[in-house]
Structure 1
């Protein structure tokens, strides 16, 4: 058995100025940039996450700008296998996460547990 849930939305920005992009999204979504969050580093800016809500992270990327979501899990290989049975494919195997592609073409990531409260509201899978 393993567990998973949606972790957050990632806003991929093909930009030289990640701070300007993060500022736009912080204002647009009404969530300030959280400079003390461990997810705010290098090419990443984390917006403040109200309790019980999913996270929003802005990241500088080399590919086209887009938005994707992350699924967090306590067992990445088991979650990847479950999603493959549903028709998803592995796009890229990274060191600490897996980029997958839904049958309809959208990319998403399977990551380790990121947010508090996982044990309270993650879905259990056999």
Structure 2
């Protein structure tokens, strides 16, 4: 058995300065940015809501979901059974594409309450 849930929304921002994308989305959503590094900005979302990340990318701007899980391989296999395809396997996450063409990532647990949360799905 493994567990998974929606970890967050990632706003992929092509070109420009990352700080301008962070500033826009922080102001638009009403959550200040409380963590940054060379590639990401993380907004201060309430603890009961998914994370919102702004990511500097080379591909066209888009929004994608991150699904957090305690077993990436099992979750990838489950999602493949639903019709998703693996786009790329990376060291710490797997990029997938839904049958609808939407990209998303399967990642290790991101939110600190993952193990104890009531809103995590358990899959056999």
TM-score (norm 2): 0.96
What is the number of equivalent residue pairs in this alignment?
122
Report the aligned-residue RMSD. 0.8
Q: Which runs of 5+ in 2 are unaligned?
A: none
Pairwise mapping of residues 38-117 of structure 1 onto structure 2 (< 5 A)?
40-117=36-113
User: Are positions 1:2 and 2:5 aligned together?
Assistant: no
Map Cα deviations across residues 90-115 of structure 1 (whole Å, 9 max, x no partner): 01111100000001100000000000
Higher strand proportion (structure 1 or 2)? 2
Map Cα deviations across residues 73-105 of structure 1 (whole Å, 9 max, x no partner): 000000000000000000111110000000110
Map Cα deviations across residues 2-58 of structure 1 (whole Å, 9 max, x no partner): 0000000000000230001100000000010013xxxx2111100002121100000
Aligned structure 1 segments of 4 or more residues deviating by more than 6 angstroms? none
Match of 2:24 in 1: 24
2:15 is paired with a residue of what secondary structure? Answer: coil
TM-score (norm 1): 0.94
